Structure 1
Amino acid sequence: MDYLFGATASRRGLLKTALIAGSVAVIPGCARKAAEVSGIDSPPPPVATPIPQPEPVVAVRTAPLGVRPHLFRRALAALDAHGRAVEHHDRIAIADFAAASSEPRFHLIDLIDGSSTSMLVAHGSGSDPRHTGWLQRFSNIPDSNATSEGAYLTSNYYVGKHGRSQRLIGLDPTNNNALDRAIVVHGAWYSNQQTLQRLGKLGRSQGCFAVGESNLQAVFDVLGEGRMIYAAKV
């Protein structure tokens, strides 16, 4: 009897030992499974976001040759004032409407290296009713056909009655109707050199910045979208 009891106890001990060993053996397997599932469900490592490069700082503060210094300083002040609205500060255009339409008064200026290009540009018929070749007055009134004074932001391109053109957004109270008035940059035959040679002055626009047809692409290439045009008579 004692022998049987001892044998039974021994068998119970072996079973208990086996169960303990089995449970110990199961734990690493569950841990591995949990780790595998966790590895599958875990999000991928974050991807580094490229840091945008800062806009070039305006380096040129002296008026290029052919641009009146006082007007150039006014344009830079306008660029500083509208800094947040103007995306790019590396190049600007200045329309000097104190000069006659027979003069290359539309200046494309690189503010990083100081280079510039000047070309003819027409003013609005409402700004020169007698067609003298000189801008007499500015106006922001709809249907005035006049040129407006102030800073403009170059916007998107479209194709209209003058071919490829660029919309402008007026940034000042003196030209904030520009978009509604459809004041744009476009090419026109009456702003070509041939018209100047024939009449001694350019034709007139309806308030738009009309440049010679052969010069239009150069304007688009220099300005693009998000840059400033400054128009004034000072």
Structure 2
Amino acid sequence: MSYQSLVITFLLFISIFPKPNFSEDKPNTSPDVDPATLIYEGLKGENASLPSKEVFSLAIQGWSKMKENLKSKVLTVIDFSLPSTTKRMWIIDPEKGEILLHSVVSHGRNSGELMAKSFSNQPESYKSSLGFYTTAETYNGKHGYSLRLDGLEKGFNDQARNRAIVIHGADYAREEFAASVGRLGRSLGCPALPSELSAKAINLIKDGSLLFIFGKDQNYLSKSSLIKA
């Protein structure tokens, strides 16, 4: 048999039997990664630490559900499970993976001293309220340039506007105050920011972005529909 005939015979032989699919025998080495993890691992910001992955994941769950109805895709995360002496507020652009601002923030006077442990939606409680908010309009009041908030979660923060829960600047919310007293000063329930940063923060998040305030409160964590996958 000629060489050409042997080649033709070999090609006919291998065409009868399909090539083995070795990939079918290999386990999937690329497990699915949820969107929150992808965003979290890509976050970057100059001299900014990250929020905890647990808190960030809850914030992103709500943001993902709400983002199509938001005028701004910026997300603010406040973690009241941390002491007030730490920088526990992050303003984040999830789509660009950037931390735009990282700051200390005050909690309500009746929520606790160094740590915020008690939360309320009730008027005159002087406590912080947990959950998701949308940022609204700005105004100039007794604390200067301020930002109104509308609570999105009935029973947890929907009284925010009635309670005048707003973002504003305050000298008692500055790190220098915390260094001398051992904690930040406390508000009447507002997430108050350092006076030198408040205008910048307000301009980043005003007019229709999402804000999430987290706290270790089992009632909220078990009942909020926005943090459930």
Match of 2:145 in 1: 164
CA change 1:167–1:149 in 2 (3 A) is same
**TM-score, structure 1 normalization:** 0.70
In structure 1, runs of 5+ residues without a counterpart are: 1-57
Does the residue aligned with 2:199 lie in a helix, a strand or coil? helix
Match of 1:179 in 2: 161
Q: 2:110 aligns with which of 126, 140, 143?
A: 126
**TM-score, structure 2 normalization:** 0.71
CA contact (8 A) 1:79 1:86 kept: no
Letter paired with 2:121: N
Match of 2:202 in 1: 220
Letter paired with 1:222: L
Match of 2:24 in 1: none
Does the residue aligned with 2:60 lie in a helix, a strand or coil? helix
Equivalents in 2 of 1:59, 1:115: separation in Å?
14
Match of 1:35 in 2: none
Equivalents in 1 of 2:212, 2:129: separation in Å?
10
Match of 2:117 in 1: 136
Mapping for residues 20-39 of structure 1, pairs under 5 Å: none
Question: For this pair of structures, how many residues does the alignment match?
Answer: 173
In structure 2, runs of 5+ residues without a counterpart are: 1-35, 44-48, 217-229
Larger relative contact order (Cα-Cα within 8 Å, sequence gap ≥ 6): 2
Equivalents in 2 of 1:180, 1:196: separation in Å?
29
Match of 1:73 in 2: 57
CA contact (8 A) 1:154 1:228 kept: yes
Equivalents in 2 of 1:73, 1:229: separation in Å?
14
Equivalents in 1 of 2:159, 2:70: separation in Å?
18
**Deviations, residues 112-145 of structure 1 (Å, cap 9, x unaligned):** 22221310100001211xx2x1001110011101
Q: 2:91 aligns with which of 95, 108, 118?
A: 108
Q: 2:40 aligns with which of 40, 62, 82?
A: 62
User: Structure 1 residue 85: deviation in Å?
Assistant: 4.2
Does the residue aligned with 2:70 lie in a helix, a strand or coil? coil
CA contact (8 A) 1:59 1:112 kept: no
**Deviations, residues 149-189 of structure 1 (Å, cap 9, x unaligned):** 00010000111110110100000121000010000000001
Mapping for residues 92-107 of structure 1, pairs under 5 Å: 92-107=75-90
Match of 1:22 in 2: none
Q: Tell which deviates more after alignment, 178-187 or 194-203.
A: 194-203
Which of these two proteins has the greater Rg computed from alpha carbons?
1
CA contact (8 A) 1:167 1:184 kept: yes
Equivalents in 2 of 1:99, 1:219: separation in Å?
20
Match of 2:171 in 1: 189
Match of 2:7 in 1: none
Match of 1:45 in 2: none
Equivalents in 2 of 1:123, 1:59: separation in Å?
28
User: Structure 1 residue 225: deviation in Å?
Assistant: 1.1
Equivalents in 2 of 1:177, 1:233: separation in Å?
18
Does the residue aligned with 2:168 lie in a helix, a strand or coil? strand
CA contact (8 A) 2:85 2:175 kept: no
CA change 1:95–1:141 in 2 (3 A) is same
